[in-house]
């Protein structure tokens, strides 16, 4: 059984339909203790990083316990960003922290060093880059992985987001919108996709099918 975590950060209906299409049995847990029965956990989400505040210590502990016994965890969009340590979108909050790094806003440019301040680098928005990034874009694969098995280099998937995760050793694929960013990540049983597989046609279904297979 796949647990689909509902923390009021997106419509779960389309994700449920996509999982049903790949033969998954899905339930929505009401309490963190119910995650112990899950063979896999999916954390979906759209919107502001602040919504992850609803995933309090009891949820975090249950999800970490799930990962520690090598059962798979998948973060989708905001859910993927939550896998990292933090996000500039809500700097007062911590992420799950199973992946290293901090999420940042798209479309930033570096300015000249500020000699009047102890801060050597200032950032501002680049008006030439449209944010949020909405629509189909291309995946550039970096390495083999279980979550992207069977996904072709240059495959097209559907994005809608304003913040992005860094390209680290966990990155499986990148996408570029003004700047390159991590589009697919994986470390052990933990995986994440910045795009929406439930809206990404056959490629998205392949991603979900890979996750379900890992959870069996």
Q: What is the pLDDT of residues 22-81, one digit of tens each?
A: 999 999 999 999 999 999 999 999 999 999 999 999 999 999 999 999 999 999 999 999
pLDDT category at 125 given cuts 50, 70, 90 is: low
CA 192 to chain centre: 4
- Is residue 108 over pLDDT 90? no
Report the pLDDT averaged over residues 118-139: 76
Look at the chain and report how many structural domains it folds into: 1
Distance of alpha carbon 53 from alpha carbon 56, whole angstroms? 6
pLDDT digits (tens, 9 = 90+) for 142-201: 999 999 999 999 999 999 999 999 999 999 999 999 999 999 999 999 999 999 999 999
Q: Which of 69, 60, 11, 76 is nearest to 38 (CA)?
A: 69
- Is residue 90 over pLDDT 50? yes
- Is residue 204 over pLDDT 70? yes
Helix/strand number for the chain, H first, E second: 4, 15
Tell me the CATH number at 151: 3.40.50.880
**Strands 190-193, 2-4: pairing kind:** unpaired
**Catalytic machinery residues:** 77, 196, 198
pLDDT at res. 54? 97
pLDDT at res. 172? 98
Alpha helices in the chain (DSSP H): 13-21, 57-68, 78-82, 201-215
pLDDT category at 110 given cuts 50, 70, 90 is: very low
What's the angle, vertex CA 163, arms to CA 158 and CA 169, rounded to 5? 85
Kindly state the DSSP code that residue 49 receives in the 8-state scheme: G
**Token digits for 30?**
């009401």
Look at the block and give the residue holding tokens 């989400």. Answer: 45
pTM of structure: 0.92
User: What are the backbone dihedrals phi and psi of residue 73, each rounded to the nearest 5 degrees, phi first?
Assistant: -130, 130
The 3-state secondary structure of 78-125, one letter per residue:
HHHHHCCCEECCCCCCCCCCCCCCEEEECCEEECCCCCCCCCCCCEEE
pLDDT category at 116 given cuts 50, 70, 90 is: very low
Domain interval for residue 136: 2-215
């Amino acid at each position: 059984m796949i647990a689909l975590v509902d923390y009021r950060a997106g419509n779960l209906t389309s994700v449920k339909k996509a999982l049903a299409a790949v033969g998954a049995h899905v339930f929505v847990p009401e309490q963190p203790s119910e995650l112990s029965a899950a063979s896999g956990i999916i954390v979906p989400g759209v919107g502001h990083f602040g919504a992850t505040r609803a995933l309090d210590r009891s949820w975090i502990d249950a999800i970490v316990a799930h990962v520690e016994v090598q059962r798979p965890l998948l973060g989708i969009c905001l859910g993927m960003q939550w896998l990292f340590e933090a996000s500039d979108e809500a700097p007062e909050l911590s992420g799950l922290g199973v992946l290293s790094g901090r999420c940042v806003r798209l479309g930033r440019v570096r300015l000249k060093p500020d000699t009047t301040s102890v801060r050597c680098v200032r950032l501002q928005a680049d008006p030439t880059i449209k944010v949020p990034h909405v629509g189909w874009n291309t995946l550039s694969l970096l390495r083999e992985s279980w979550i992207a098995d069977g996904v072709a280099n240059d495959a097209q998937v559907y994005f809608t987001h304003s913040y992005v995760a860094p390209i680290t050793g966990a990155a499986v694929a990148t996408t570029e919108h003004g700047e390159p960013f991590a589009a697919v990540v994986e470390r052990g049983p933990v995986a994440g996709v910045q795009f929406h597989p439930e809206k990404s046609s056959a490629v998205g279904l392949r991603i979900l099918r890979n996750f379900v297979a890992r959870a069996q």
